[in-house]
Amino acid sequence: MWTGDTYLEDLYKQAEAKRNFTARSESPEAKQARLKASLRRAAGEFELNKQDQPVRLESVQCQGYTRERIELSALPGLSFGAYVLIPDAATANTPGVIAVHGHGYGSRQISGLLEDGSADTGEADGYHHFAVQLVQKGLVVIAPDVSGFGERRLEADLAENPDAPNSCHRMSTQLLMLGKTLTGLRVTELLHTLDYFSGRQEVDPSRIGIVGFSGGSLLAFIVAAVDERILASVLIGFPNTFKDSIMSVRHCICNYVPDILKLGELPELIGLIAPRPLFLESGSNDPIFPVEGFKQAVKELKQLYAQAGVSENLQYDLFPGAHEVSGRNSFDWLHATLAKR
Ligand SMILES: [Zn+2]
């Protein structure tokens, strides 16, 4: 009799039991330090470009803010673009936020632009131009292009299909063959983005937050978990359990990080952000990050923040909606959290 389903379930439970056994022999602090180091390593390590010389490609005055286009490079020979949105009212030492998009056509999609770079004056899609919403709150925003999307799709994919939605599959599979992951490459570029952004004269380096949606939230949570410079985090359309989301619903291969379940289930790993402020947001009808998994993540993270004595630093919003950005409460929360420091 074929019992593959039971077998996989048993493996999942065995991994959970092993994690619990390991955790019993160490202090909460030691466990957190171990998990942070392991999470960074699990994504695969990359040689860094130590001589990046950022280039400003353009500067456009928009309504209430300036939109700069910057080119950065975290890895040797690999550059990427990022929009920096600067409120007209910004002074030196304004709070900043890294805005991380997920699947789609890249930084333009969250910065109020169409794929061809022209202004998107139509009805906003599920991203709701969230980088623009954040700059309109008075925050300096940087929105980097995540590798594999938009202008960062591979030529090999575009040669096969000029409308290829992304290069996640080709990039992920080739990196996996080398013991690396696309998540690791993307996180490395985001950490470099943080280095650059912290040095901008408009930005207060002690007041930087991060907002990620969907696949961008996977990256945002890892960056926040491993780098204490992130003061506050908003994770949208992603907080869940692995079991209820990427292990139950078919997702893009770029969501899967080898060995990660040996470290922890998703709520526990998101909990590495504690005690720093964290906002969890999800649509009640999100079909790919289901509501039951979101509720479980909220429950576990509430316990974790309570144990750390900082219950007030965890907020959440289950808004009526699908797999999309709301920001109805989280963006004001982020602004207030970064402002009060
Ligand atoms: Zn993907």
The whole-angstrom separation of Cα 305 and Cα 300 is 9
How far does residue 147's CA lie from ligand 1's centre (Å)?
10
**pLDDT value of position 302:** 98
**pLDDT value of position 135:** 98
How far does residue 149's CA lie from ligand 1's centre (Å)?
9
How far does residue 43's CA lie from ligand 1's centre (Å)?
15
Beta strands in 229-331 (DSSP E): 230-236, 278-283, 314-319
The whole-angstrom separation of Cα 160 and Cα 153 is 12
The whole-angstrom separation of Cα 34 and Cα 21 is 15
Rounded CA Rg of the chain:
19
How far does residue 102's CA lie from ligand 1's centre (Å)?
8
Block means of pLDDT (10 residues each) for the chain, length 341 residues? 96 97 91 92 86 95 97 97 97 96 97 94 90 98 98 98 97 95 96 97 97 98 97 98 97 95 96 97 98 98 96 98 97 95 65
How far does residue 337's CA lie from ligand 1's centre (Å)?
31
The angle subtended at Cα 106 by Cα 105 and Cα 111, nearest 5°, is: 110
User: What share of residues in the chain are helix, strand, coil (percent, to 5)?
Assistant: 40, 20, 40
**pLDDT value of position 40:** 85
> So what CATH class is 4-339?
alpha beta
How far does residue 8's CA lie from ligand 1's centre (Å)?
24
How far does residue 182's CA lie from ligand 1's centre (Å)?
9
How far does residue 9's CA lie from ligand 1's centre (Å)?
25
In the Cβ-directed half-sphere of 161, how many Cα atoms lie within 13 Å?
Answer: 5
How far does residue 268's CA lie from ligand 1's centre (Å)?
23
Residue 24 dihedral angles phi and psi, to the nearest 5°: -65, -25
How far does residue 84's CA lie from ligand 1's centre (Å)?
24
How far does residue 103's CA lie from ligand 1's centre (Å)?
6
How far does residue 252's CA lie from ligand 1's centre (Å)?
5
**pLDDT value of position 341:** 65
| 20: region left, alpha or beta (phi > 0 left; psi from -120 to 50 alpha) | alpha
How far does residue 188's CA lie from ligand 1's centre (Å)?
16
How far does residue 280's CA lie from ligand 1's centre (Å)?
21
**pLDDT value of position 112:** 95
How far does residue 161's CA lie from ligand 1's centre (Å)?
17
How far does residue 288's CA lie from ligand 1's centre (Å)?
13
- Would you kindly state where each structural domain of the chain is located, as residue ranges? 4-339
How far does residue 184's CA lie from ligand 1's centre (Å)?
13
SS3 state at 81:
strand
83 sits in which H/E element: strand 78-87
How far does residue 169's CA lie from ligand 1's centre (Å)?
7
**pLDDT value of position 41:** 83
How far does residue 168's CA lie from ligand 1's centre (Å)?
4
How far does residue 176's CA lie from ligand 1's centre (Å)?
14
